[in-house]
Structure 1
C-alpha cells in the first residue's frame, strides 16, 4: 500500500512541476503562493485537501527559512470565507504557552515567585495551601478537572467564566488527585488559576495583559480572545466545525447531541480560548529567539522539563519538551477544542518550525500529518496518510443506498479499512436510530477478502 502511495504522490509532484512550468509567465493571483518554495510540501497538503483530509492553514520553516505557507479550504462555512494564513482560529491548549509566558513576564518584573504558594497571590479563599505557582505551570498541582462538575451541575443557559470556576474550587473544595508536586496530571484547571493570578498581580485581565506585553510587541495583530457567540459573525475568522454524521455536513459543534458544553464552557481562558493565525504564530516563534519578551533566564526554565521525582513528564512551562543529540531541543504543543485542532513545533537547534491549524476536526489524520511533516524536516520521506474508510463513510454515506455500496467500496479499495473503527461507527448509528447507515456498514463488513476486515 505504501508503494502505491509513493507512486501516486510522485506522479502528483511531476504534474505540479509541469503545471508550474506552463504557467510561470502568468500573474500570480494568490499572494500566499509566493511564500512557497517547497513543492513537496505543497503537493502533500494539496493532496490532503483534495482528499477531504485537511482544511486549514500551515507554515513550515527549515533552518530558520520559511519554505511553505498556505491556507486551504473554508474558514467560515456560513459566510463561505477562505481559510488563509492570516485567518484567526481558536488554538485551544496551544494557549497555555502564552499564559505561562505571562507568568514569566511577571516573574521578570519581580511580581511573582513561582516557588511560592498560589495562596500568596490569590488569598486563603483558594483552599489549597500546598499548591505552588510552579505546580500549576507544570501540571503537578493535583487539581481535578472542573469540566465534569460543570457538565453535571452548571446552568447550561449561562456561560461559565474563570470567576465561576474559581468559585467552584473555593466552595466545593474538591479533593486533589494527588499531593502537589508528586505526580503529573494534565490540568486545565491549573491554567485557569494561573490566568486569575495574572489578573490579581498585574491588575489586568489575561487578555489585556497578553495584548500589551506580547501581541503588540510581536506584531500579532490577529491574536486575542473572543466570546464564542460572536465568532460566527467575525470577518477573517475560522470557527471550529464538526461533522454531523446524520447529515454528513459540518455544523456548529454545540448543536450536536451532548456537545452543548462547547458553548457554556467557552468563557474560561488560560488553558484555552486564545485565537491566533498561522502568520501570528510565525511571529511568536521568531520573537522567542530574542529577549524582547522572555529573557534568557526565563527561556531556560520555560523550555526545560520539570518532572516530579520518579515521573517521566516532558512538560516545561506551557510546552512539551523533547531533546536528543541528533535533533537538539524540540518544544511543542497541540490543542483540541470544539472542532479546532492546533499544533506548533519548534526545532530550536536549527530554528525549524511547523504550525498547523485545522477547523474541521480531522482527528483521524492530524496525528499522521504532524508526524509526516516533522519527519520530513529531519530528512525522511514525506509519507501521505491513508484515507480511512470509516472517515470517508461518515462524510459520504448520506448519498449512499444499498445498490451503491459495492460501487462505493470499489472506488475506495486503496483506503485504510479498519474493522474496529467501522464497528464503532456502526454502533454509533444504531444508538442514534440510523438503521440505514448501520446496515450499509454491515454489508461492508461482510465483504470477503478486505484487508483489515
Structure 2
C-alpha cells in the first residue's frame, strides 16, 4: 500500500513540475511576443518568401501593438529569433554614442563646442574640429576603412586606438574644411568614443552600461568581440549570401570580406548589440527626463547643418518632418549581414523597429516603408519578388534545360534587368560559369521580348 502511495505521490509531483515548466514557457512567450494579426501575417509571409529573418516591433500613439521574431537567429545552433534576441545594431549604435556625449555635457565634463584636441591630445593634427562637428558628420575627416583594408594585418583585430593612431601619424587629407560640408563619417563616431573615454575616465561600453543600460534594465545590450558571437546564447550573428553555395554563410568567409572580422574591434560608430526588447526600453528612456534631460534631447533631435550645404542629421539621428506625424527621428544600420532600423515620431509616439540578420537588402526599404505606411492607415504592401533574388536562391538547383520552364513559372515577378546583369557579372568574377550562362539565357529572353 505504501509503495502505491509513494508511486502516486511521485507521479503527482512529476506532472505538477511538468505543468509548471510548460506554464513558464507560455509566460516567456507571452512576455516576448505581442500579436497583431495583420502584421504577423505580413512578416510571416516575408519570412516564407526569404525576404526577412529577424524581429520587429511597432507602437501606435505610444502603445505597443506588435512585437515578434521570425526565423532562425543562429544558423549553426538553429535557435529561434525572438524579441529578446540580441544582434549587432550597426550604425543605430551612433545614437547611443551621441547620448553618452550629451550626458557628459550634462555632467559639465565637456561641451559639444569644445575642440577635439582637448580630449584626443595636442598631437591630433586636425586642430579646428569640434565635438559638435563629429556628432553631425561635418568634421571633414576622411574615412579610415580603405586604408585598413589595404594595409592592416588581417590576423590582428583593429581597435579605436589603432584608428586614432592612424590619423595622428598618417594624417590623411581632409575631405572638406571642418564645419563646411556634410559627409557621413564612421571616423567621427569612433573618435567620439575616445572622447567619452577621455572625459569620463571610462570606456564607452562602461559609461553606457552605468548611465543607460543598467538603469533601464537593458540586459541584452552590450559590446562583444566578434569571435564570441557565434556561440553566444540568444544571439543572432549576421549572415550573407554565398553565390557559390546558394545559402547564407559567415560574412568574412566570402571573398574580400575579411575586414568584417579585423575591423570588429572598433566601437562608437557601430558594434553595439541590442534586441527588440531593449530598443523598446530605449524608446521609453528617450521620453523621460530623469536621466537624459530635455535640453540634451533637443540637441539630439535638431538638425545641425554645415555652413556650406544641407543636412538632415542631428546628433546620432536623421531628423525629418512628416505632414501627419510631425518630427521624425530615425536611423538605419548595416554591417556584416545585419540590417537595422528605428523610426520614432516625437509628437505621436509612434515607433517602428526592424532588425534583420540575413542581409535582405533587396526588400528591406520596401518593408520599412510598408510598416510606416501601416501606421498611417495604409494597407501593407508586399514587395514584388525580384528575379535576381529568386534566381540566386534557386541557381544551385537549376540547369540550362530548366531555364525556359523556370522563366515561364515565374513570369509575373519583377524581372529587374539591371540587377540580373549585375548578378551575371558577379558570377563571372567568382568563376561560376554555369550560373552565368543560365543568366545570359534569361537576360537574352527578356531583351528579345522587350
Question: TM-score, structure 2 length as denominator?
Answer: 0.92
Write out aligned runs for 1:45-194 (5 A): 45-194=43-192
Q: 1 CA distance for matches of 2:295 and 2:440?
A: 60
Tell me which moved more, 125-134 or 29-38: 29-38
The answer (yes or no) to whether the contact 2:57–2:353 under 8 Å persists in 1 is yes
1:133-186: CA deviation from partner (whole Å, max 9, x where unpaired) = 000000000010000110111111100000000000010111111111100000
The answer (yes or no) to whether the contact 1:32–1:69 under 8 Å persists in 2 is no
1:293-350: CA deviation from partner (whole Å, max 9, x where unpaired) = 3101101111000001342200000000011453211000000000000000001111
Q: Classify the secondary structure of the residue corresponding to 1:217.
A: coil
Tell me which moved more, 29-38 or 218-227: 29-38
Structure 1 stretches of 4+ with a deviation exceeding 4 A read 27-30, 32-35, 448-451
Aligned position for 1:8: none
Q: 2 CA distance for matches of 1:101 and 1:293?
A: 11
Aligned position for 2:433: 435
Q: Does structure 1 residue 316 correspond to structure 2 residue 321?
A: no
Aligned position for 1:213: 211
Q: 2 CA distance for matches of 1:33 and 1:400?
A: 44
The answer (yes or no) to whether the contact 2:196–2:203 under 8 Å persists in 1 is yes
The alpha-carbon distance between structure 1 residues 350 and 405, as it changes in their structure 2 partners (threshold 3 A), is: same
CA RMSD in angstroms comes to 1.7
Unaligned runs of 5+ in 2: 1-24
Tell me which moved more, 160-169 or 379-388: 379-388
Q: Classify the secondary structure of the residue corresponding to 1:69.
A: strand
Q: Does structure 1 residue 302 correspond to structure 2 residue 297?
A: no
Q: 2 CA distance for matches of 1:199 and 1:76?
A: 33
Q: Classify the secondary structure of the residue corresponding to 2:445.
A: coil
- The structural deviation recorded for 1:362 is 0.2
Aligned residues: 426
Q: 2 CA distance for matches of 1:372 and 1:445?
A: 30
Q: 1 CA distance for matches of 2:300 and 2:343?
A: 15
Aligned position for 1:414: 412
- The structural deviation recorded for 1:352 is 0.7
Q: 2 CA distance for matches of 1:356 and 1:416?
A: 24
Aligned position for 2:7: none
Write out aligned runs for 1:248-397 (5 A): 248-397=246-395
Q: 1 CA distance for matches of 2:70 and 2:447?
A: 36
Question: TM-score, structure 1 length as denominator?
Answer: 0.91
- The structural deviation recorded for 1:409 is 1.9
Aligned position for 1:17: none
The alpha-carbon distance between structure 1 residues 232 and 450, as it changes in their structure 2 partners (threshold 3 A), is: farther
The alpha-carbon distance between structure 1 residues 119 and 449, as it changes in their structure 2 partners (threshold 3 A), is: closer
Task: From the CA coordinates, give the structure whose radius of gyration is larger.
Answer: 2
Q: Classify the secondary structure of the residue corresponding to 2:214.
A: helix
